[in-house]
Chains A and B, each alone.
Chain A
Protein backbone atom coordinates (compact mmCIF):
# COMPACT_ATOMS: atom_id res chain seq x y z
CA UNK A 1 0.00 0.00 0.00
CA UNK A 2 1.34 3.41 -1.01
CA UNK A 3 1.71 5.50 2.10
CA UNK A 4 3.58 8.00 4.24
CA UNK A 5 4.27 6.89 7.78
CA UNK A 6 5.34 8.90 10.80
CA UNK A 7 6.48 7.86 14.25
CA UNK A 8 5.68 8.46 16.97
CA UNK A 9 2.05 9.53 16.60
CA UNK A 10 1.99 11.14 20.03
CA UNK A 11 4.86 12.43 22.12
CA UNK A 12 5.05 14.30 25.40
CA UNK A 13 8.51 15.50 26.34
CA UNK A 14 10.29 18.12 28.40
CA UNK A 15 12.16 21.25 27.39
CA UNK A 16 15.66 20.56 26.10
CA UNK A 17 15.36 16.81 25.57
CA UNK A 18 16.40 16.01 22.00
CA UNK A 19 13.88 14.12 19.92
CA UNK A 20 13.45 12.78 16.40
CA UNK A 21 10.23 12.25 14.49
CA UNK A 22 10.65 9.79 11.66
CA UNK A 23 8.98 9.98 8.27
CA UNK A 24 9.07 7.36 5.57
CA UNK A 25 7.38 6.98 2.16
CA UNK A 26 7.24 3.99 -0.14
CA UNK A 27 6.20 5.79 -3.36
CA UNK A 28 9.67 6.69 -4.63
CA UNK A 29 8.81 10.36 -4.29
CA UNK A 30 11.48 13.01 -4.89
CA UNK A 31 9.94 15.80 -2.81
CA UNK A 32 9.42 15.52 0.93
CA UNK A 33 8.36 18.14 3.41
CA UNK A 34 7.59 18.83 7.06
CA UNK A 35 4.75 21.06 8.25
CA UNK A 36 3.46 22.19 11.58
CA UNK A 37 -0.22 22.90 12.09
CA UNK A 38 -1.38 25.33 14.74
CA UNK A 39 -4.94 26.63 15.32
CA UNK A 40 -5.68 29.65 13.18
CA UNK A 41 -2.34 29.47 11.37
CA UNK A 42 -2.96 26.68 8.89
CA UNK A 43 -0.05 24.56 7.77
CA UNK A 44 3.38 26.12 7.79
CA UNK A 45 6.31 24.53 6.01
CA UNK A 46 9.33 23.84 8.22
CA UNK A 47 11.79 22.20 5.83
CA UNK A 48 11.59 20.49 2.47
CA UNK A 49 13.80 18.30 0.34
CA UNK A 50 13.91 18.10 -3.43
CA UNK A 51 16.00 14.91 -3.42
CA UNK A 52 18.61 12.94 -1.50
CA UNK A 53 21.12 15.20 0.27
CA UNK A 54 19.18 18.33 -0.79
CA UNK A 55 17.27 20.15 1.95
CA UNK A 56 15.98 23.71 2.19
CA UNK A 57 14.37 25.91 4.81
CA UNK A 58 10.68 26.58 4.67
CA UNK A 59 8.84 29.37 6.42
CA UNK A 60 9.49 28.34 10.03
CA UNK A 61 12.80 26.42 10.25
CA UNK A 62 14.09 27.83 13.55
CA UNK A 63 14.68 25.12 16.16
CA UNK A 64 14.44 22.24 13.68
CA UNK A 65 16.85 20.13 11.66
CA UNK A 66 16.28 17.58 8.93
CA UNK A 67 18.32 15.15 6.89
CA UNK A 68 17.72 13.23 3.65
CA UNK A 69 20.28 10.46 3.48
CA UNK A 70 17.91 8.08 1.71
CA UNK A 71 15.12 8.84 -0.71
CA UNK A 72 12.41 7.24 1.41
CA UNK A 73 13.27 8.80 4.80
CA UNK A 74 13.10 12.39 6.01
CA UNK A 75 13.46 12.66 9.80
CA UNK A 76 12.68 15.83 11.73
CA UNK A 77 15.04 16.58 14.60
CA UNK A 78 14.42 18.91 17.51
CA UNK A 79 17.79 19.34 19.21
CA UNK A 80 16.47 21.31 22.18
CA UNK A 81 12.66 21.40 22.14
CA UNK A 82 10.85 24.33 23.68
CA UNK A 83 7.16 24.76 24.65
CA UNK A 84 6.50 26.90 21.54
CA UNK A 85 7.21 23.83 19.45
CA UNK A 86 4.14 22.13 20.87
CA UNK A 87 2.13 21.45 17.73
CA UNK A 88 0.73 18.91 15.29
CA UNK A 89 3.38 17.90 12.78
CA UNK A 90 2.79 16.44 9.33
CA UNK A 91 5.24 14.90 6.93
CA UNK A 92 4.31 14.89 3.25
CA UNK A 93 5.74 13.61 0.01
CA UNK A 94 5.10 14.11 -3.70
CA UNK A 95 6.51 12.96 -6.98
CA UNK A 96 8.00 16.44 -7.49
CA UNK A 97 7.39 19.82 -5.94
CA UNK A 98 4.48 20.97 -8.12
CA UNK A 99 2.42 17.86 -7.59
CA UNK A 100 -0.09 16.31 -5.19
CA UNK A 101 1.34 15.93 -1.71
CA UNK A 102 0.50 12.83 0.31
CA UNK A 103 0.45 13.47 4.02
CA UNK A 104 1.41 11.23 6.88
CA UNK A 105 -1.00 10.65 9.79
CA UNK A 106 0.52 13.41 11.92
CA UNK A 107 2.52 13.55 15.14
CA UNK A 108 1.09 15.43 18.09
CA UNK A 109 3.99 16.83 20.10
CA UNK A 110 3.71 18.41 23.53
CA UNK A 111 6.77 20.06 25.07
CA UNK A 112 6.43 20.78 28.79
Chain B
Protein backbone atom coordinates (compact mmCIF):
# COMPACT_ATOMS: atom_id res chain seq x y z
CA UNK B 1 0.00 0.00 0.00
CA UNK B 2 0.83 3.66 -0.01
CA UNK B 3 3.32 5.12 2.50
CA UNK B 4 2.78 8.75 3.47
CA UNK B 5 5.31 10.64 5.57
CA UNK B 6 4.62 14.11 6.95
CA UNK B 7 7.11 16.61 8.39
CA UNK B 8 7.54 18.34 10.70
CA UNK B 9 5.42 16.85 13.46
CA UNK B 10 5.34 20.19 15.30
CA UNK B 11 5.85 23.71 14.02
CA UNK B 12 5.84 27.05 15.83
CA UNK B 13 5.86 30.33 13.93
CA UNK B 14 5.41 33.97 14.80
CA UNK B 15 2.20 35.59 13.69
CA UNK B 16 2.63 36.96 10.20
CA UNK B 17 5.34 34.49 9.23
CA UNK B 18 4.90 31.65 6.75
CA UNK B 19 4.50 27.96 7.57
CA UNK B 20 5.39 25.04 5.31
CA UNK B 21 4.45 21.41 5.85
CA UNK B 22 5.69 18.68 3.56
CA UNK B 23 4.45 15.20 2.73
CA UNK B 24 6.01 12.45 0.68
CA UNK B 25 4.29 9.43 -0.79
CA UNK B 26 5.39 6.21 -2.41
CA UNK B 27 2.87 5.23 -5.10
CA UNK B 28 3.45 7.20 -8.29
CA UNK B 29 -0.09 6.30 -9.46
CA UNK B 30 -1.73 8.23 -6.58
CA UNK B 31 -3.75 11.07 -8.01
CA UNK B 32 -5.52 13.15 -5.37
CA UNK B 33 -3.84 15.01 -2.51
CA UNK B 34 -6.01 16.84 0.06
CA UNK B 35 -5.00 18.74 3.17
CA UNK B 36 -7.18 18.73 6.27
CA UNK B 37 -7.18 21.03 9.29
CA UNK B 38 -8.30 19.71 12.65
CA UNK B 39 -8.85 22.11 15.52
CA UNK B 40 -8.74 20.80 19.05
CA UNK B 41 -11.74 18.58 19.76
CA UNK B 42 -13.18 19.06 16.29
CA UNK B 43 -13.49 17.00 13.14
CA UNK B 44 -10.99 17.29 10.24
CA UNK B 45 -12.04 19.74 7.55
CA UNK B 46 -10.67 20.13 4.05
CA UNK B 47 -8.71 23.33 3.49
CA UNK B 48 -7.24 22.72 0.05
CA UNK B 49 -6.64 19.86 -2.37
CA UNK B 50 -4.76 19.22 -5.59
CA UNK B 51 -4.94 16.62 -8.32
CA UNK B 52 -2.06 14.95 -10.09
CA UNK B 53 -2.50 16.93 -13.31
CA UNK B 54 -1.87 20.25 -11.53
CA UNK B 55 1.40 21.54 -10.06
CA UNK B 56 0.13 24.28 -7.79
CA UNK B 57 -3.12 25.59 -6.36
CA UNK B 58 -3.76 28.66 -4.26
CA UNK B 59 -6.66 29.85 -2.15
CA UNK B 60 -6.01 33.20 -0.46
CA UNK B 61 -3.29 32.60 2.17
CA UNK B 62 -3.09 28.86 1.54
CA UNK B 63 -1.32 27.11 -1.31
CA UNK B 64 -0.38 23.56 -2.17
CA UNK B 65 2.41 22.48 -4.51
CA UNK B 66 2.85 19.04 -6.00
CA UNK B 67 6.04 17.52 -7.39
CA UNK B 68 5.02 14.26 -9.03
CA UNK B 69 8.55 13.34 -10.05
CA UNK B 70 9.84 13.58 -6.50
CA UNK B 71 6.55 12.32 -5.05
CA UNK B 72 6.05 15.08 -2.57
CA UNK B 73 3.55 17.84 -1.95
CA UNK B 74 3.59 20.77 0.43
CA UNK B 75 1.17 23.05 2.22
CA UNK B 76 2.13 26.71 2.40
CA UNK B 77 0.37 29.13 4.75
CA UNK B 78 1.37 32.78 4.44
CA UNK B 79 0.72 35.65 6.85
CA UNK B 80 -0.16 33.20 9.61
CA UNK B 81 -2.75 34.15 12.21
CA UNK B 82 -3.46 32.68 15.67
CA UNK B 83 -6.59 30.99 14.28
CA UNK B 84 -4.33 28.96 11.98
CA UNK B 85 -3.16 27.06 15.08
CA UNK B 86 -4.36 23.47 14.62
CA UNK B 87 -3.22 20.04 13.50
CA UNK B 88 -2.82 19.67 9.76
CA UNK B 89 -3.00 16.34 7.95
CA UNK B 90 -2.00 15.54 4.41
CA UNK B 91 -3.67 12.65 2.62
CA UNK B 92 -3.16 10.63 -0.53
CA UNK B 93 -5.86 8.85 -2.52
CA UNK B 94 -4.87 5.80 -4.48
CA UNK B 95 -6.42 5.45 -7.94
CA UNK B 96 -9.38 3.13 -8.63
CA UNK B 97 -7.32 0.27 -10.03
CA UNK B 98 -5.31 0.00 -6.81
CA UNK B 99 -8.06 0.40 -4.25
CA UNK B 100 -9.59 3.85 -3.80
CA UNK B 101 -8.10 4.06 -0.34
CA UNK B 102 -7.06 7.13 1.57
CA UNK B 103 -3.76 7.29 3.40
CA UNK B 104 -3.14 10.08 5.89
CA UNK B 105 0.07 11.54 7.23
CA UNK B 106 0.66 11.54 10.97
CA UNK B 107 -0.13 15.23 11.33
CA UNK B 108 1.65 18.52 12.04
CA UNK B 109 0.71 20.53 15.10
CA UNK B 110 1.04 24.19 14.10
CA UNK B 111 1.21 26.88 16.75
CA UNK B 112 1.07 30.52 15.71
CA UNK B 113 2.51 32.74 18.41
CA UNK B 114 0.84 36.16 18.65
Contact pattern, A 24-35, Cβ under 8 Å of B = 1, otherwise 0: 000000010101
Work out how many contacts link A and B, with CB atoms closer than 8 A: 56
Query: Which B-chain residue is minimally distant from A91 (CB atoms)?
Result: B43
Which of chain A's residues have a CB closer than 8 A to the CB of B100?
Answer: 31, 48, 50, 56, 97
- A65 interfacial by beta-carbon distance below 8 Å: no
Contact A101 B104 (CB under 8 A): no
| Chain B residues within CB distance 8 Å of chain A | 1, 6, 31-32, 34, 43-46, 49, 51, 89, 91, 93, 95-96, 99-107
- Given A90-B44, A98-B32, 17 more A-B residue pairs with CB atoms under 8 Å apart are A40-B106, A41-B106, A42-B6, A42-B106, A43-B104, A48-B102, A56-B101, A58-B101, A59-B103, A90-B43, A97-B100, A98-B95, A100-B46, A100-B49, A101-B46, A105-B43, A106-B43
Please provide the 9 A-B residue pairs with the shortest distance between their CB atoms, ordered closest to farther. A98-B32, A103-B43, A97-B100, A43-B104, A42-B106, A42-B104, A100-B46, A42-B107, A98-B93
